[in-house]
Amino acid sequence: MRAEIRRVAVIGAGTIGASWTAWFLSRGLTVVASDPSPDAPALIRRMVENAWPGLAQLGAVAGADPGAWSFEPDPARAVEDADFVQESAPERLAIKQPLLAAIDAVLPPDVVIASSTSGLLASELSAGCAHPERVVIGHPFNPPHLIPLVEVVGGAKASPEAVAAAMAFYRAIGKHPIALAKEVPGHLANRLQAALWREAVHLVAEGVASVADVDAAISEGPGLRWALMGPHLTFHLAGGEGGMQHFLDHLLPAMRGWWADLGRPDVDAALGATLVAGVADEAGGRDVRAMATARDAALLRILAARGEGGG
C-alpha cells in the first residue's frame, strides 16, 4: 500500500467530508473534493474558514495552505493521482456500494479507500469492488477536524496491509486511530453511545428524571472523567489501591444487579415527542449552529488542557 500520502481525495463533501477537508489541509496535504451538490464548494469554503483558527491552535503544520483544495463533481476524476481516498457519502449502502465500485475501478490497487460510514460493514461496502482488499472503514467522530478518534475496520475482505496503511496515515496526521479486530454494525464507539442513550431514553420514559437532568447526569459527572480515560481505566481507579481486581471483587455484584434492570425502551410517537420537547426545553431557544460553535470552542479548550495538538 502507498506509504507517502500527499494528495487526498474527499468523496462526499457534506458536513463530514468538509470537516475532513479542513483537517487534511491543516496537516499540509492537498485535497480534491467531490460531491454531486452544487452547494458543496461553498460549504467546504465556509467550513475551512471557520475551522482554521482552531486548527491553528491544534498545531496546524507550518505553511499549511487552507486554499490547497480543488473541487471536481465527478468522483472518478476526483481520485486521479490521489494517494488516499476518504469517502463520506450519505449513510446508505445503495449509494456507497456503486460509488466505491466506481472509484475502485479507476484507482491503482495500492491506494487505500477509507469509508467514513458510522455503522455499515466494510465487507458489504466493497462487494462490487475489483480490489476489496484495499477498502477499509475510517470512521471519524463528529466533527472530524477536532475529535481525534478514527475507527479503522478491515472486516472480512480488507488486507492487513490496507489496515496498517490506514492506521499509519491517520496516526501521521495527528489522529488517534483504533483498529477493530472484527466488523460489527455500528463499529465500537457508536455501539457504546447507543447503549448509554438507550438507558437514558428508558429513564426518561420511566419518569425517573427529565431530559435535562439525564443529560446533566453525564455532562456534570462521568462525562468529565471520560474526557480523560475510558470506562475500564475509570473503574480501575475506582478500585483504589487494589485497582480493577478490587473493583471486580467488591463492586461488580452490585453492577450486575443494575445490568439486569436496564431498560429496552420503545420510542413510539409519544416518547419521541417527550424527547423532542425535553431537548427544546434544555436548549432554551439556543440556535443549533450557535450551540455547535460553542461546543467546538469548548472541545478546543479540552484538547488544549490534555496537551494535544497535531501530528
pLDDT in tens, 175-209: 999 999 999 999 999 999 999 999 999 999 999 99
Give the whole-number percent of the chain exceeding pLDDT 70. Answer: 99
Query: Quick one: pLDDT at residue 309?
Result: 64
Kindly list the domain boundaries of the chain, sorted by start residue: 7-180, 189-305
Query: Quick one: pLDDT at residue 161?
Result: 97
> Nearest-5° angle of CA 303, CA 304, CA 306?
65
Query: Quick one: pLDDT at residue 104?
Result: 98
Task: Name which CATH class applies to 7-180.
Answer: alpha beta
**HEC assignment per residue over the chain:** CCCCCCEEEEECCCHHHHHHHHHHHHCCCEEEEECCCCCHHHHHHHHHHHHHHHHHHCCCCCCCCCCCEEECCCHHHHCCCCCEEEECCCCCHHHHHHHHHHHHHHCCCCCEEEECCCCCCHHHHCCCCCCHHHEEEEEECCCCCCCCEEEEECCCCCCHHHHHHHHHHHHHCCCEEEEECCCCCCCCHHHHHHHHHHHHHHHHHCCCCCHHHHHHHHHCCHHHHHCCCCHHHHHHHHCHHHHHHHHHHHCHHHHHHHHHHCCCCCCCHHHHHHHHHHHHHHHCCCCHHHHHHHHHHHHHHHHHHCCCCCC
What is the spatial distance between Cα 188 and Cα 142, in angstroms, rounded to a whole number? 15
Strand partners, 87: 11, 115
Q: Residue 92: what residue type?
A: R
CATH architecture, domain defined by 189-305: Orthogonal Bundle (1.10)
pTM of structure: 0.93
| Spans of the chain, pLDDT less than 50 | 311
What is the spatial distance between Cα 135 and Cα 51, in angstroms, rounded to a whole number? 29
Query: Quick one: pLDDT at residue 53?
Result: 95
Query: Quick one: pLDDT at residue 3?
Result: 86
